[in-house]
């Protein structure tokens, strides 16, 4: 255990090395680890339990909005993949390609790819599934009566990445991808906005992550989309991170796959598509937004474990009494079924070690109880977010704990929202922007009317990209910070993950 | 709709062409379809909803027995894969291999694999994950305190198949794979038997599929396993179908990946492994065991929809009244929350068409209601399994429906169990067996003490394989049906899917 105490609990301080701090939390909270397979991570049980909670909540929201789940193949023939020009150019450079279907033993006795087993047509491991799904929709969509189609799938996808970082950018990751088909552009538009709203509600209400909702600029759109909607948040090093996207794909894929339907009026029409997704990146985002130098901080509503009990005792008799009381409370909480609770009964570990360990793992509330507390009928509750210690009579726990969990949830959201507000700036000239982004990183709201080429130049010069055109802001006209032209369009620029 | 009525509802009769009958049900009940990608299927929403119900129930059973979920990479480097000789020889011939990480455009403008982007080491798309998981366990297992490790993952896997059939044998399929590590052989043995029991309970209680539980013969064991346990059932064409397997892997993978732990006594020991899995094949098994010439038959406890209401009316006024009553019932059932219910309000379709359609889809109970029923305060309930019509007063529905659903569940199980019993034979000589398996297909329980080579000969001569050595049968010694030697071992032979 000596090793555990000294090394395993140590975390680089955020202010010393933000990037190292992030990796330390992923590692020490046992959320994920390198697999030895280039760019692929292992999501450990502690991390996967968070993903399961996310899936469960979101899946219900998808079903409540009329969607069903299905499953489409992992492998996409290159010929399908190539049917939509923008799509293939957006994904061809970063995909895993299956070319053979057998291994064999060579003359030296080594296991190698069997050259005799080359596929007639190579298969791409899906980086996203528009092409394989629309090739199926071609059969499914004949008449206006077949529309809308509202499907989703929870799957693994693969995008070959050169520089990877657990959760944030990995070659293989998990996600859900919704793919819908509609009779009109307006319906597809409404669907893509509805799903953005679903994501926003989920992320704000469950993950306590405040987001900026907007539309992507031309440069940042999904390859083949008419509109891409996004929600973005701010990390503690004041960069932007994309949380979810929702695309109105127009008739791009219907045309590429020759999908038409007979309208009620008897004409042949192209259906309209949307797609929308959220990934395991969300777990990385949770770290980036809420965690601190003590470790991971998990918002109560998404935490696999909400309250952990740590018994304190010196003598064997004390131990028995304390554990008995904890078991009694555990039984009571179980009947109540309002929060999850577990007692840390591990032997040979000091309370201090356990405190650190559960802080590291981000459990929202810790309950300490020793012989004196037992005598007084109290426990000590310690908030993970603030470290605040609260002495609570045991009789009040069933109301006090849910109350505190809700307060932690709200506080995390507010703290992140204030931080985002404090680091959001408005500037009116490119010079101001260049100095600002260098000296005071954050979100920069500017009037922008430049071309995609202008946006590229800005990125080259400042490493900042147009994150989104915020929704719902009815802005008065102003002067483009880059071209000087009059425009109504405001864009948030930031350096991003 | 003309096409729907004539073609889409037609199913080949089981007795005419069993194989075609199976494919027709998969297709007409919209459970799955060919994807155009060799050997890969699309699981349609109707089929996927069944898989989701299976996942939900099983996942809870896994967690109740102490297991957690995690996620390990899709890609396995050939060098990992090759570490265990039996394992690689068992899977190398049927795996998808990723050799490149980029596509490019060639001189003719075609999208092709980029020869410049060849991987240093090819990656196998997981056919099963023992190797990648045990390479991680090497880091996780240091001391006896780290054991047991009880993990599971729900993922896609790929085994390159030449002849495929939806659900039963596909190149890509979905499954869960449990992978555990234990300090002793006895613990691993107990775990592998416990998980077989979990599968048996699930399959019998939820899928109404009666199973034979047993141990695999040497020939049929998982590559690298000490013991493989299996549950098998009988299809309506009297073949065996493997439903689930659970393996005691001994120290095979610990040795291959050099995993040892420090015991409480201070010695270095190899940990013991198990793995166990169940796949989307289960959906095919449901068809094979319960379905009939009218279509799919889904046991109520796993059915995504349990009761469907079909309104009957001629005039507009009748329609309004009938639908109003249905909506009233729907609201009542929703409050009750004891079964799922939906009213088929589709326009322009006759009640007859709807009856056929829901029969095809296997919905356990249909509720018909027309103007006369409205007047009498009755509905007509029709059982999918027997076609029996039952007139029930509306006031009794809330107790009668759950009762009928339970009765359907039990009846399906009993019917399948009787069928399995009627087609199980005991024979004592190989001659009897050869004639029997040809003229009266089914399960053949025999005394068997032959070698793996004998078993192969039997397979070559009769197309039957040793399905399992049944558990829990304390058999008196008898004479091996093949070698004539005295033995205690009984084996069930059958032709299998």
pLDDT (tens digit per residue) in A129-150:
999 999 999 999 999 999 999 9
* Digit-coded pLDDT (tens) for B217-240: 988 898 889 999 999 999 999 999
Whether the CB-CB separation of A476 and A219 falls below 8 Å is answered with no
CB contact under 8 A, A74 and B40: yes
Q: Does domain A18-290 have CATH number 3.30.930.10?
A: yes
pLDDT exceeds 50 at position B50: yes
Q: Which of A3, A8, A34, A36 is most worth mutating to test chain B (most B CB atoms within 10 A of its CB)?
A: A36
pLDDT at B3: 46
- Please tell me which residue of chain A has the smallest CA distance to B51: A70
Give the per-residue pLDDT at B393: 97
- Provide the shortest C-alpha distance from residue B308 to chain A (in Å): 18
Give every CB contact of residue B77 below 8 A, 6+ residues apart in sequence: A36, A37, B121, B122, B123, B124
- Please say if the pLDDT value at position B138 is more than 90: yes
pLDDT computed for residue A74 by the predictor = 98
Q: A157: which 2 tokens?
A: 């996808």
Residues in chain A closer than 8 A to B100 (CB atoms): 96-97, 99, 122
For the segment B169-200, what is each residue's pLDDT rounded down to a tens digit? Answer: 999 999 999 999 999 999 999 999 999 999 99
For residue B2, name the pLDDT band (cuts at 50, 70, 90): very low
Q: Does the pLDDT of residue A86 top 90, yes or no?
A: no
pLDDT in the model for residue B10:
84
A228 pLDDT band, cuts 50/70/90, is: very high
Q: Which of A79, A97, A100, A99 is nearest to A88 (CA)?
A: A79
Q: How far away is chain A from the Cα of B466, in angstroms, using its nearest Cα?
A: 28
Q: Which of A93, A111, A342, A357 to mutate to test the interface with B (most CBs of B within 10 A)?
A: A111
Q: B88 falls in which pLDDT band (50, 70, 90)? A: confident
pLDDT at A473 over 70: no
ipTM here: 0.96
* Interface residue of B2, B7, B37, B133 to substitute, partner A, most A CBs within 10 Å: B37
Quote the pLDDT of residue B8.
58
pLDDT digits (tens, 9 = 90+) for B304-330: 999 999 999 999 999 999 999 999 999
Tell me how far apart the alpha carbons of residues A446 and A494 are, in angstroms, rounded to a whole number: 11
CB nearest to A95's CB, from B37, B48, B102: B102
Q: What is the pTM of this model?
A: 0.96
The domain defined by A300-408 carries CATH number 3.40.50.800? yes
Would you call A73 and B158 a contact, using CB atoms and an 8 Å cutoff?
Answer: no
Q: Please state, in angstroms and rounded to a whole number, the distance separating the CA atoms of residues B105 and A89.
A: 9
Where do you find CATH 3.30.930.10 in chain B? Answer: 18-290
CB pairs under 8 A between A and B: 188
| Average pLDDT across chain A, whole number | 95
When pLDDT is cut at 50, 70 and 90, the band that residue B161 belongs to is: confident
- Contact criterion met (CB below 8 Å) for A210 and A410: no
Give the pLDDT confidence of B328-376 residue by residue, as tens digits.
999 999 999 999 999 999 988 999 999 999 999 999 999 999 999 999 9
Tens digits of per-residue pLDDT, A281-330? 999 999 999 999 999 999 999 999 999 999 999 999 999 999 999 999 99
Chain A hits for B45, CB-CB cut-off 8 Å, are 68-70, 151
pLDDT mean over B401-410: 98
- Chain-centroid distance, C-alpha A279: 5
How far apart CA A442 and CA A423 sit, in angstroms, is 5
pLDDT band at A7 (very low <50, low <70, confident <90, very high): low
How close A125 gets to chain B, by Cα (Å)? Answer: 9
Tell me what pLDDT residue B87 has. Answer: 82
Residue A276: its pLDDT value, please? 98
Beta strand residue intervals within B60-192, DSSP E = 68-69, 75-77, 97-100, 103-105, 111-113, 118-125, 149-158, 172-182
Name the residue among A466, A425, A459, A430 with its Cα closest to residue A445. A425
The confidence band for A4, taking pLDDT boundaries of 50, 70 and 90, is very low
Of B36, B103, B135, the CB nearest to A36: B135
CATH architecture of B424-494: 2-Layer Sandwich (3.30)
At residue A10, the pLDDT reads 84
Tell me if B94 and A102 make a contact (CB, 8 A cut-off): yes
Q: Using the predicted structure, report yes or no on whether residue A223 has a pLDDT greater than 50.
A: yes
Mean of all residue pLDDT scores within chain B: 95
Whether B192 and B229 have beta carbons less than 8 Å apart is answered as: yes
| pLDDT for the residue B323 | 96
Topology of domain B300-415, per CATH?
A: Rossmann fold (3.40.50)
pLDDT computed for residue B9 by the predictor: 67
Per residue in B256-306, pLDDT tens? 999 999 999 999 999 999 999 999 999 999 999 999 999 999 999 999 999
Q: What is the mean pLDDT of residues A361-371?
A: 97
For chain B, residues classed under CATH 3.30.110.30 are 424-494
Q: Name every chain A residue with its beta carbon within 8 A of the beta carbon of B43.
A: 70-71
Q: Does the beta-carbon distance from A102 to B77 stay under 8 Å?
A: no
Residue B414 CB neighbour total at 10 angstroms: 12
Contact (CB, 8 A) for B192 and B274:
yes
**pLDDT tier, B54 (very low <50, low <70, confident <90, very high otherwise):** very high
B113 neighbourhood in chain A, CB within 8 Å: 78, 97, 99, 122
Nearest residue to A427 via CA among A412, A442, A405, A408: A442
Q: Do B96 and A93 touch (CB under 8 A)?
A: no
């Amino acid at each position: 255990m000596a090793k555990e105490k000294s090394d395993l609990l140590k975390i680089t301080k955020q202010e010393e090395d933000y990037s190292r701090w992030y990796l330390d939390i992923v590692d020490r909270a046992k959320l994920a680890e390198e697999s030895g397979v280039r760019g692929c991570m292992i999501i450990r049980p502690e991390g996967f339990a968070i993903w399961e909670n996310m899936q469960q909540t979101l899946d219900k929201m998808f079903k409540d909005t009329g969607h069903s789940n299905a499953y489409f193949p992992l492998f996409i023939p290159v010929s399908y993949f190539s049917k939509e020009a923008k799509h293939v150019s957006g994904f061809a450079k970063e995909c895993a390609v299956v070319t053979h279907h057998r291994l064999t033993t060579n003359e030296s006795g080594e296991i190698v790819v069997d050259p005799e087993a080359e596929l007639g047509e190579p298969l791409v491991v899906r980086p996203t599934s528009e092409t394989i799904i629309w090739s199926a929709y071609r059969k499914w969509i004949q008449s206006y009566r077949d529309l809308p189609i509202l499907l989703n799938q929870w799957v693994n996808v693969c995008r070959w990445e050169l520089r990877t970082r657990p959760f944030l950018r990995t070659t293989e990751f998990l996600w859900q991808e919704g793919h819908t088909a509609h009779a009109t552009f307006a319906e597809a538009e409404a669907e893509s906005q509805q799903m953005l709203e679903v994501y926003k509600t989920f992320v704000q209400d469950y993950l306590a992550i405040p987001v900026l909702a907007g539309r992507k600029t031309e440069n940042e759109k999904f390859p083949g989309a008419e509109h891409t909607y996004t929600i973005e948040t701010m990390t503690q090093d004041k960069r932007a991170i994309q949380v979810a996207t929702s695309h109105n794909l127009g008739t791009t894929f219907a045309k590429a796959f020759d999908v038409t339907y007979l309208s009620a009026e008897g004409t042949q029409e192209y259906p309209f598509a949307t797609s929308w997704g959220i990934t395991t990146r969300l777990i990385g985002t949770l770290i980036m937004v809420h965690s601190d130098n003590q470790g991971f901080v998990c918002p109560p509503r998404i935490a696999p474990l909400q309250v952990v009990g740590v018994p304190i005792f010196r003598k064997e008799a004390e131990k028995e009494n304390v554990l008995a009381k904890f078991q009694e409370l555990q039984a009571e909480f179980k009947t109540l079924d309002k929060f999850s609770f577990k007692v840390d009964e591990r032997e040979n570990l000091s309370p201090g070690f356990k405190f650190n360990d559960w802080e590291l793992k981000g459990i929202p509330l810790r309950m300490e109880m020793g012989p004196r507390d037992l005598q007084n009928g109290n426990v000590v509750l310690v908030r993970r977010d603030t470290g605040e210690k609260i002495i609570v009579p045991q009789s009040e726990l069933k109301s006090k704990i849910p109350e505190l969990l809700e307060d932690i949830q709200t506080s995390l959201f507010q703290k992140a929202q204030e931080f985002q507000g404090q680091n959001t700036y408005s500037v009116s000239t490119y010079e101001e922007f260049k100095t600002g982004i260098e000296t005071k990183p954050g979100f920069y709201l500017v009037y922008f009317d430049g071309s995609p080429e202008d946006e590229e130049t800005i990125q080259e010069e400042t490493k900042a990209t147009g994150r989104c055109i915020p929704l719902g802001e009815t802005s008065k006209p102003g002067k483009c910070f880059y071209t000087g032209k009059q425009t109504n369009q405001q864009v948030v620029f930031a350096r991003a993950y």
